[in-house]
């Protein structure tokens, strides 16, 4: 981790502000109820908390113990269905399958071969008809598309622009 997010989260609540608007738009239009969602690199939960408030069950994973502490505190205060896990994305193996896996500006922090290997692992945990939502450096999107296309599963690209990639299993 190049930037010390754990220190940042230890010093400030809601350090990264509001949920990412493109994910807000997605979940405001998402027609599935009670989806199981994995938020990879969730930090303090700016996206995870919003998603849980929409009625979904969320697993938030981050390397920052302070971030996960804040996520769990906020979820507890609002009685939201969120599980927080402190883990290193490089070694993390999700438990089960998810209707949506969200990765908000996390993969670019890894070296190219590692980020692609992490993405490959996560792809195996998206349910049939499930979604993978990525926000990352625009320069990484083509590599992510290549990894997804190389999988035996069928994926439909719903959005690929300006650092965003939304794909759905078919």
Give the integer Cα–Cα distance in Å for 72 and 49.
10
pLDDT of residue 2: 62
Categorize the per-residue pLDDT at 1 as very low, low, confident or very high, splitting at 50, 70 and 90: very low
Query: pLDDT tens, 104-150?
Result: 999 999 999 999 999 999 999 999 999 999 999 999 999 999 999 99
Domain ranges of the chain: 42-88, 102-170
Nearest to 86 by CA among 107, 66, 100, 102: 66
Q: How large is the average pLDDT for residues 52-66?
A: 97
Q: 79: Cβ–Cβ under 8 A, 6 or more apart, which residues? A: none
Q: Are 167 and 148 in contact (CB under 8 A)?
A: yes
Cα 113–chain centre separation: 19
Tokens of 131: 């979604």
pTM: 0.94
Strands of 126-135's sheet in order across: 82-86, 57-62, 36-40, 98-104, 126-135, 164-169, 155-161
Query: Among residues of the chain, what percentage have pLDDT more than 90?
Result: 87
Given a cut of 90, is residue 154 above it in pLDDT?
A: yes
pLDDT band at 158 (very low <50, low <70, confident <90, very high): very high
| Confidence category of residue 15, pLDDT binned at 50, 70, 90 | confident
Residue 83 has pLDDT above 90, yes or no: yes
Residue 52 per-residue DSSP state: H
Mean of per-residue pLDDT scores for the chain: 95
Residue pLDDT, tens place only, 86-107: 999 999 999 999 999 999 999 9
In sequence order, what are the residues at sequence separation of 6 or more whose Cβ sits closer than 8 angstroms to the Cβ of residue 97?
36, 125, 126, 127, 130
CA diameter of the chain: 44
> In terms of residues, how long is the chain?
170
């Amino acid at each position: 981790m190049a930037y010390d997010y754990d220190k940042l989260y230890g010093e400030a609540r809601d350090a990264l502000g509001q949920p990412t608007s493109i994910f807000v738009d997605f979940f405001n239009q998402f027609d599935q109820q009670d989806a199981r969602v994995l938020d990879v690199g969730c930090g303090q939960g700016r996206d995870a908390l919003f998603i849980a408030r929409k009625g979904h069950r969320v697993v938030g994973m981050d390397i920052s113990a302070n971030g996960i502490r804040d996520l769990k505190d906020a979820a507890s205060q609002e009685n939201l269905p969120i599980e927080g896990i402190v883990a290193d994305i490089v070694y993390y193996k999700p438990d089960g399958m998810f209707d949506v896996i969200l990765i908000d500006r996390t993969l670019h922090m890894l070296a190219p071969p590692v980020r692609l290997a992490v993405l490959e692992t996560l792809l195996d945990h998206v349910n049939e008809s499930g979604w993978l939502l990525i926000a990352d450096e625009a320069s990484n999107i083509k590599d992510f598309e290549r990894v997804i296309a190389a999988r035996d599963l069928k994926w439909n690209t719903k959005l690929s622009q300006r650092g965003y990639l939304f794909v759905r299993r078919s």
